Amino acid sequence: MQSPWKILTVAPLFLLLSLQSSASPANDDQSRPSLSNGHTCVGCVLVVSVIEQLAQVHNSTVQASMERLCSYLPEKLFLKTTCYLVIDKFGSDIIKLLSADMNADVVCHTLEFCKQNTGQPLCHLYPLPKETWKFTLQKARQIVKKSPILKYSRSGSDICSLPVLAKICQKIKLAMEQSVPFKDVDSDKYSVFPTLRGYHWRGRDCNDSDESVYPGRRPNNWDVHQDSNCNGIWGVDPKDGVPYEKKFCEGSQPRGIILLGDSAGAHFHISPEWITASQMSLNSFINLPTALTNELDWPQLSGATGFLDSTVGIKEKSIYLRLWKRNHCNHRDYQNISRNGASSRNLKKFIESLSRNKVLDYPAIVIYAMIGNDVCSGKSDPVPAMTTPEKLYSNVMQTLKHLNSHLPNGSHVILYGLPDGTFLWDNLHNRYHPLGQLNKDMTYAQLYSFLNCLQVSPCHGWMSSNKTLRTLTSERAEQLSNTLKKIAASEKFTNFNLFYMDFAFHEIIQEWQKRGGQPWQLIEPVDGFHPNERKSILLKGILMTSQTLDNQEWTQLTSWIKGNLTCDSRTREWLCCCWRIISGKRCSSSGPKSWERRIRSTPRLNRCLETKAGTEPLRSMHPWGAQGGRGLGKLIPQTLWGLPRHRPKGLFFSSIFAKCLSLNEEHIWTTVQCCVLPGSVTLPLFLK
């Protein structure tokens, strides 16, 4: 196969494909204006606005600002070259129009990138000119009357119609629609290439010539000869002949994370630096090629499957990184099966891209998070297009049956509810958009109106000045959430437990405000709709501490996500061994060897393990001076008895335990559950 970097040489192709698949829900309504025309109009107004503002910021000519913009773009995907070609074709007309004080709306309508069809309203982003629109447009057309470019712009040609690009377009569109890697030699749905649905979306393949080697599978013969599950663990320990995979991963209950989502789950993001003239520099567009070949999504930073550290200073980690941190046997076991415009209606078109074999692979935690497009569309009347509760029930049940036929036994599925999107208008409508901050001439209310007029809005229902429409949209969202809740409460499946979780909007806002933030800072600033990286990660963090479900299965699930531990026989065996050591009792001489080696990092416990009798004087075992009690008190482990009275100030029970065992606090929670107070209602008292 030809190298992808040699294939990706035509930037307009990716601009077109990315914009057409970006944030707007997919639908088949042929009566609507062409989405490509709407997005072309948005793109034109955006670019002309940036050119105009660059000239203003740098006190330069329009010609100089266009050249400056092109100089900022990277060479990859021929972005810089394409920019100069665009200047060569349209630059002279843009210069004439901007020099005549025409704004971006007028320029794009004059060049016919924006069109007002018969019977359709006039779509504009900025305030209308003081003179009538008709007069202004006629005046602008007179300025460029003799331009040959107008014939080109009227042609409506699609770059994918060019013979040389038709085959590439088809392959890339297919990869996007089916959510499978563009480059996948062995067809196992995993890739060694980062973008175009590669390892930014699902774990990196470690052998792209062998379809039996991929992340998330159970090891083949304990990976004695090769790394069959791509977690980096294989071979045999020469000291004892035990395979490393068996030594480190047996009994650790590895779990993969799979997200079935929309553009929010894929983490749709347009960088504000790309459109803010005052912030633009040579470094602003470094990530643009990656973004274009990822459909303007950033799954590598998403709250569910992100494997890179947060770029916004949030301490919380994605669910995948939590799983990986607690158990490195989970390395690379993530799948982001999300798509811009996805909903319960069209998930069936790409759910086949999910990779899980119920016999060969490890169980997985699956998050179903279609949080918007069942109530969102860009239609002028979005209410009839909303999914009904009955249809949602049918769609979700179809999805769950598919998952039950593919997921290994012991998996978990979480259904996310829909948010109340009235938050958007309430917190953003009167704020200036990044394009309007320089001249204070464009708010989010104007952006919403512009997108709605072009019928390319990601959510007309919530991004509207019509309060009644916003309320109707939220009411339908609540109905759909209740449907998901009922499904989780009533339906049972053989291969997974099913849970429901509310979209914790208010909890996220409260947590962010506690940190000194403002609610509007949780929304993507450019599109004014999607949750940004902060909100996405905070939402997944709230999942870890959710009290929505107070039952044993939910506790097990959050334990897996936090530390991959439950009170099964093996876990109880090694954790209780630790407990006996720390409480001064005899340590087990038959405990699991690998876990005993882990405990040896604490010298005092090491001495205990090496003592055949397994005992030491109690005072040397309890450096904080814990003493036993009398009567019933003798039945209470001495450390537990003494800690409430003798622990150092500010040192919590869990911290002391962690110091003793060199384990994290999630292990400690499980230790107490398994070994100390099973079933006790007083358990939380010892962890506070």
Give the Cα separation of 532 and 513 in Å (integer).
15
Burial of 147 (0-12, 13-18, 19+ CB in 10 A): middle
What pLDDT score does 535 carry?
A: 76
Give all strands of the β-sheet with 496-501 in edge-to-edge order. Answer: 334-338, 256-261, 364-369, 411-416, 496-501
pLDDT at residue 419 above 60?
yes
- Note the pLDDT of residue 471: 98
Is residue 374 pLDDT above 90, yes or no?
yes
Rounded average pLDDT over 342-353: 96
524-529: average pLDDT: 97
Q: What is the mean pLDDT of residues 582-599?
A: 43
**What span, in angstroms and rounded, lies between the C-alpha atoms of 370 and 392?**
11
Cα 238–chain centre separation: 41
- CB distance 181 to 191 below 8 Å: yes
Whether the pLDDT of residue 3 is over 60: the answer is: no
What's the pLDDT score for residue 544? 55
Count of all residues that appear for the chain in the document: 688
Q: Which two tokens stand for residue 320?
A: 């995948």
Q: What percent of the chain has pLDDT over 90?
A: 60
Q: Is the pLDDT of residue 4 over 70?
A: no
Q: Is the pLDDT of residue 648 over 90?
A: no
Say what the pLDDT of residue 448 is: 98
Write out pLDDT tens, residues 232-256.
999 999 999 999 999 999 998 899 9
User: Taken in order 500, 503, 507, 508, is the CA torsion positive or negative?
Assistant: positive
What digits encode the pLDDT tens for the residues 45-96? Answer: 999 999 999 999 999 999 999 999 999 999 998 889 889 988 998 999 999 9
pLDDT at 16 over 50: no
pLDDT at 24 over 60: no
Residues near 140 by beta carbon (within 8 Å), at least 6 away in sequence:
97, 100, 102, 106, 107, 109, 110
Q: What pLDDT digit, counting tens, does each position of 662-687 carry?
A: 444 444 444 444 444 333 333 333 33
More confident site: 14 or 177: 177
Phi/psi at 415 (5° precision) = -95, 120
Please, how many CA atoms are within 13 Å of residue 22, restricted to the half-sphere of its CB? 27
The pLDDT of residue 433 is 98
Query: CB count, 10 Å around CB of 88?
Result: 9
Is 263 annotated in the active site? yes
Does 650 have pLDDT greater than 80?
no
- Using one digit for the tens of pLDDT, what is the confidence trace for 262-318? 999 999 999 999 999 999 999 999 999 999 999 999 999 999 999 998 888 788 889
Highest mean pLDDT among 5-14, 547-556, 637-646: 547-556
Residue 256: what pLDDT?
96
**Residue range 255-275+288-556 in CATH 3.30.70.120:** no
Percent helix, strand, coil in the chain, to 5, is 50, 5, 45
Spans of all domains in the chain: 37-157, 163-247, 255-275+288-556
Catalytic residue among 21, 22, 65, 263: 263
**Portion of the chain with pLDDT greater than 70, in percent:** 71
